[in-house]
């Protein structure tokens, strides 16, 4: 019998198919009958190497299925749809012709190159190239044009190219539920733009936003505005930032009992980018600016806008959408005022200068602020007090924020060389601005809710309901009492509060191993934040309502919020209603999620290269995040990377001897050794595997396994 399914390759040469519903996207279980006519529900089909050859990631196929005691196997497939139009891999010499060997994340086997393409690559064997795919008359993929490269294998440029093709291909327009039409985009245009973006980013360019016309309708064109150029405000960013979309103003009289008056000014992108204009359609398609470690970033908007006319440059008159609110001594926000304002930033300050100023060194700040130093310092004094109060109030909220450890170092290209840099070189200054921006997002969300304005609110439900059973098992194993976990009607805040209270109790009793288990599983059980048209609570921040407002130059969701605000201020009918915002939210979640995956994948691949070049020559602390029969999943917190210790290395077995761990049903602990989730271990780098991924071994174990 035939089953419609999507393909996912495995680096070892085989693959798996996931059955899908009539829309070709919704994962489901398929009913398959065995030789005796007995029905079986299957949610995954094994694809053996011979059948997997020639198939690419995300192919939609009709598969013939056979059942045996090991499960369901695809014996033959027929291609229905191939959403990926770009392929990245190594140029290889096949039997009498050049071919592309796909990256293992995309497929196995060889993909033939059209003759004109092969003719351009005779000296590129072993190098990485990106090609535009077509299908021959039999539905077999063929490389029809060179898009990027060839690059030296494992070079930063090759890593960027592969990361772009793999990550963005996962969010091809046809793979997003509802598709581009549901987001108000023409499907054909969106598909062309998507393919073009992949090609441009893979080649190292900044994308395709340059030169697009901003013309089109402007919501709230008649909205009133307020003169604020006489009020001092400053911007605080990295020294390399060119797209400056937020400025801070703050006033405080120095009395501990007095409120701090804060003004957060955000570039008025809605005034400059017309609805449905080429600039708008491009921005809606890409969803956000892509920030990459290798090569140039890819701005969502034309740099002439994002780094020029809209950027809040110092001593330049600019339009802004501003959120004004007070911060009380106990850290609460007063009622917000939202307005369109004319502003003029007094100085472009860097995180480095502000960090030095916080530490008592005023010289860098004086150098950057110049003649406006007195006004700039007045703003910073108020901003620091507001952030201190907000931090104290945030610390009192019941959240899992403290469970997430940020990396200390990250890979980067410096003067063309791959090296590492501090992940947060100016953490205190960054945290100061972050707290003010989070407060502005909360204030604007409350303002929208009070007026019944539909918007793209940021929703975070807290714990993922599908992971409740694992969390319950972890609580039982740790000896923790979390009754709310057993109550399906319990509020999310109650569950979070009880979990944190139990972690505190375990820590106070010096039961660090039990606390680490519960904390690790709780951190991995949180749901992913999404955009929603309803102001659902943001559990990750313990906020009643939250909206992305502060980065309209860099995120399309923020531009949507700005347009809704502008219409409300003008007394106009809003551009969007909840019904059309819901499919737009799904589109933006998928597209921006692909950009996040792109950045994470590029970082992980760069780390692999650094490790392979001897970056670590000693032991490194790690935390066990999961246990399977095959080994230990780990996270190296200082580096911010994940890894794996095979069962063979964990058990210190001789070379070529296979090992297996005995694991409980939730992957929390093993009786094969002293390991459980949350345990701190020490590992050493053990080399790269055949796919270029890092292997690890336990400190003190032999390197032979």
pLDDT one-digit tens code per residue, 578-595: 888 999 999 999 999 999
Q: In the prediction, which pLDDT does 39 show?
A: 85
Residues 361 and 508 in one domain: no
Predicted confidence band at 273 (pLDDT cuts at 50, 70, 90)?
Answer: very high
Instruction: Name the DSSP class of 577.
Output: -
Average pLDDT over residues 95-103: 91
pLDDT higher than threshold 90 for residue 253: yes
Residues 396 and 299 in one domain: yes
- Residue 170 in domain: no
**CATH number of the CATH domain containing 11:** 2.40.50
Q: In the prediction, which pLDDT does 419 show?
A: 92
Residues 342 and 363 in one domain: yes
Q: In the prediction, which pLDDT does 530 show?
A: 87
Using one digit for the tens of pLDDT, what is the confidence trace for 336-381?
999 999 999 999 999 999 999 999 999 999 999 999 999 999 999 9
Q: In the prediction, which pLDDT does 705 show?
A: 40
Instruction: Name the DSSP class of 385.
Output: H
Using one digit for the tens of pLDDT, what is the confidence trace for 412-429?
999 889 999 998 888 899
Buried b or exposed e, range 353-378, using 16+ CB within 10 angstroms: bbbbbeeeeeebbeebbeebbebbbb
Determine the Cα–Cα distance for residues 2 and 24; give it in Å rounded to an integer.
Answer: 14
Residues 245 and 298 in one domain: yes
Q: Which residues contact 36 (CB under 8 A, 6 or more apart)?
A: none
Determine the Cα–Cα distance for residues 264 and 91; give it in Å rounded to an integer.
Answer: 52
Q: In the prediction, which pLDDT does 540 show?
A: 47
- Residue 686 in domain: yes
- Assign 317 to helix, strand or coil: strand
Residues 443 and 510 in one domain: no
Q: In the prediction, which pLDDT does 211 show?
A: 77
Residues 482 and 590 in one domain: no
Q: Which neighbouring-strand residues pair with 363?
A: none
Residues 270 and 378 in one domain: yes
The three-point CA angle 446-450-452 to 5° equals 115
Contact 329, 252 (CB under 8 A): no
Determine the Cα–Cα distance for residues 128 and 91; give it in Å rounded to an integer.
Answer: 6
Contact 314, 345 (CB under 8 A): yes
Residues 444 and 543 in one domain: yes
Average pLDDT over residues 89-105: 92
Q: In the prediction, which pLDDT does 537 show?
A: 56
Contact 199, 86 (CB under 8 A): yes
Q: What is the DSSP string of 125-171?
A: TTSEEEEEEEE-TTS-EEEEEEEEEEE-TTSHHHHHHHHHHHHHHTT
Determine the Cα–Cα distance for residues 255 and 218; give it in Å rounded to an integer.
Answer: 43
Residues 657 and 517 in one domain: no
**CATH number of the CATH domain containing 671:** 2.40.50.140
Q: In the prediction, which pLDDT does 207 show?
A: 85
User: How high is the mean pLDDT of the chain?
Assistant: 90
Range(s) of the domain holding residue 9: 2-81
Residues 269 and 285 in one domain: yes
Contact 647, 631 (CB under 8 A): yes
Domain final residue, candidates 479, 500, 525: 525
Average pLDDT over residues 654-676: 90
- Residue 398 in domain: yes
Measured between alpha carbons, how far apart are the two ends of the chain, in Å? Answer: 44
Residues 448 and 548 in one domain: yes
pLDDT higher than threshold 80 for residue 685: yes
Residues 376 and 268 in one domain: yes
Determine the Cα–Cα distance for residues 303 and 206; give it in Å rounded to an integer.
Answer: 9
pTM: 0.92
- Residue 211 in domain: no
- Residue 281 in domain: yes
Q: What is the DSSP string of 227-290?
A: E-TTS--EEEE-TT-----EEEEEE--S-TTSPEEEEEEEE-HHHHS-TTSHHHHHHHHH-B-B
Q: What are phi and psi of 494, to 5 degrees?
A: -65, -40
Domain final residue, candidates 604, 630, 649: 604
Contact 439, 325 (CB under 8 A): yes
- Residue 671 in domain: yes
Using one digit for the tens of pLDDT, what is the confidence trace for 463-516?
777 888 898 999 999 999 888 888 877 777 788 888 888 888 998 999 989 989
Question: Domain tally for the chain?
Answer: 4
Determine the Cα–Cα distance for residues 604 and 287; give it in Å rounded to an integer.
Answer: 23
- Residue 631 in domain: yes
Q: Phi-psi region for residue 691, left (φ > 0), alpha (ψ -120 to 50) or beta?
A: alpha
Average pLDDT over residues 407-413: 90
């Amino acid at each position: 019998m035939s089953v419609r399914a999507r393909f996912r390759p495995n680096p070892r040469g085989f693959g798996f198919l996931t059955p899908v519903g009539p829309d070709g996207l919704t994962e489901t279980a398929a009913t398959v009958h065995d030789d005796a006519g007995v029905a079986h529900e299957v949610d995954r089909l094994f694809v053996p190497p011979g059948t997997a050859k020639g198939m690419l990631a995300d192919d939609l196929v009709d598969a013939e299925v056979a059942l045996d005691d090991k499960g369901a196997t695809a014996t033959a497939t027929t291609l229905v749809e191939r959403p990926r139009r770009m392929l990245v891999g190594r140029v290889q010499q096949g039997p009498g012709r050049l071919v592309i060997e796909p990256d293992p994340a995309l497929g196995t086997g060889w993909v033939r190159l059209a003759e004109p393409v092969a003719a351009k690559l005779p000296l590129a064997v072993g190098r990485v190239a990106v090609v535009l795919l077509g299908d021959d008359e039999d539905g077999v993929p063929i490389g029809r044009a060179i898009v990027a490269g060839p690059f030296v294998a494992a070079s930063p440029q090759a890593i960027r190219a592969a990361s772009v093709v793999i990550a963005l291909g996962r969010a091809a327009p046809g793979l997003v539920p509802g598709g581009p039409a549901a987001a108000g985009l023409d499907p054909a245009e969106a598909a062309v733009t998507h393919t073009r973006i992949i090609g441009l980013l893979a080649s190292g360019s900044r994308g395709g936003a340059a030169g697009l016309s901003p013309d089109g309708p402007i919501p709230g064109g008649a909205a009133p505005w307020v003169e604020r150029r006489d009020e001092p405000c400053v911007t605080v960013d990295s020294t390399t930032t060119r797209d400056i979309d937020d400025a801070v103003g703050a006033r405080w009289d120095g009395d501990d009992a007095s409120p701090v008056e804060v003004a957060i000014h955000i570039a008025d992108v809605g005034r400059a980018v017309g609805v449905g204009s080429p600039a708008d359609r491009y921005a809606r398609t890409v969803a956000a600016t892509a920030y990459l470690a290798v090569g140039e970033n890819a701005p969502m908007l034309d740099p002439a806008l994002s780094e020029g006319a809209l950027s809040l440059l110092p001593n330049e008159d600019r339009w802004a959408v501003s959120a004004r609110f007070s911060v009380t001594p106990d850290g609460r926000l007063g009622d917000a005022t939202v307005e369109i304002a004319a502003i003029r930033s007094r100085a472009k300050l860097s995180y480095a200068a502000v960090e030095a100023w916080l530490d008592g060194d005023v010289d860098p700040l004086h150098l950057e602020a110049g003649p406006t130093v007195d006004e700039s310092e007045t703003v910073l004094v108020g901003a620091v007090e507001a952030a201190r109060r907000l931090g104290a109030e945030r610390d009192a909220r019941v959240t899992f924020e403290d469970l997430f450890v940020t990396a200390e170092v990250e890979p980067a290209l410096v003067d063309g060389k791959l090296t590492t840099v501090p992940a947060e070189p100016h953490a205190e200054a960054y945290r100061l601005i972050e707290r003010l921006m989070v407060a502005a997002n909360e204030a604007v969300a409350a303002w929208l809710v009070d007026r019944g304005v539909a918007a793209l609110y940021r929703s975070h439900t807290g714990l993922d309901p599908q992971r409740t059973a694992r969390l319950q098992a972890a609580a039982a194993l740790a000896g923790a009492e979390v009754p709310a976990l057993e109550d399906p009607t319990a509020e999310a805040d109650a569950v979070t509060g009880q979990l944190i209270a139990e972690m505190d109790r375990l820590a106070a009793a010096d039961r660090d191993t039990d606390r680490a288990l519960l904390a690790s599983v709780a951190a991995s059980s949180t749901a992913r934040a999404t955009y929603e048209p309803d102001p659902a609570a943001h559990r990750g921040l313990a906020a009643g309502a939250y909206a992305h407002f502060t980065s309209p130059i860099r995120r399309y969701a923020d531009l949507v919020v700005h347009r809704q605000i502008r219409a409300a201020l003008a007394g106009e009918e809003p551009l969007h209603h909840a019904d059309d915002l819901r499919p737009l939210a799904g589109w933006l979640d998928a597209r921006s999620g692909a950009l996040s995956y792109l950045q994470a994948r590029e970082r992980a691949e760069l780390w692999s290269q650094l490790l392979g070049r001897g970056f670590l020559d000693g032991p490194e602390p790690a935390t066990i995040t999961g246990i399977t029969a095959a080994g230990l999943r780990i996270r190296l917190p200082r580096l911010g990377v994940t890894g794996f210790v095979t069962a063979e290395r964990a058990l210190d077995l001789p070379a070529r001897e296979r090992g297996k761990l005995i694991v409980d049903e939730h992957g929390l602990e093993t009786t094969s050794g002293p390991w459980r989730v949350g345990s701190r271990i020490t590992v050493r780098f053990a080399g790269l595997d055949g796919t270029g991924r890092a292997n690890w071994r336990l400190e003190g174990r032999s390197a032979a396994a």
